Amino acid sequence: MWKEVIKNKALYAESKKQKLDVSLDEAKQFALESAKAFETIEPSPSKAEAEAYLAGLELTPREYFEKVAPSEYQIGMSIGRLKAKLYEEKKVDPSSPIDVLDKVFDEYTNTIVRNAKVVRN
């Protein structure tokens, strides 16, 4: 778990460094669109599981998409932009097999994490 947290922090910092980060307003807009899409999903075991998970966090789906999702989406979308730029620079076709894409991104990620500066609060 900590490896994933460190990796995402390092990649998000790199996306900001390269000016590829998504604004909080963009992330809020995406969260709003996601909330609308979630509301239109027909009842299913997957939707019930998601709602139960949120209930365990004492959040309604609406509260999740308004309060929690934007900052998470901001990080994820920023890393996505970084990944897209990497594939473009390396001339990797985004429709390549997933193992090819993963290998390219994992090598890049390892370099970023290895060179990241750890700051204690």
Q: pTM score, two decimals?
A: 0.85
pLDDT in tens, 61-119: 999 999 999 999 999 999 999 999 999 998 988 889 999 999 999 999 999 999 887 66
What span, in angstroms and rounded, lies between the C-alpha atoms of 121 and 112? 21
Residue at 86 is within a domain: yes
User: What is the structure's pLDDT at 49?
Assistant: 96
Residue 119 in tokens: 């700051």
56 has a pLDDT exceeding 90: yes
Inter-axis angle of helices 2-17 and 98-115, nearest 10: 80
Residue at 36 is within a domain: yes
Instruction: Work out how many domains the chain is built from and give that number.
Output: 1
Residue at 99 is within a domain: yes
Range of the domain at 107: 2-115
Residue at 35 is within a domain: yes
Residue at 95 is within a domain: yes
Residue at 52 is within a domain: yes
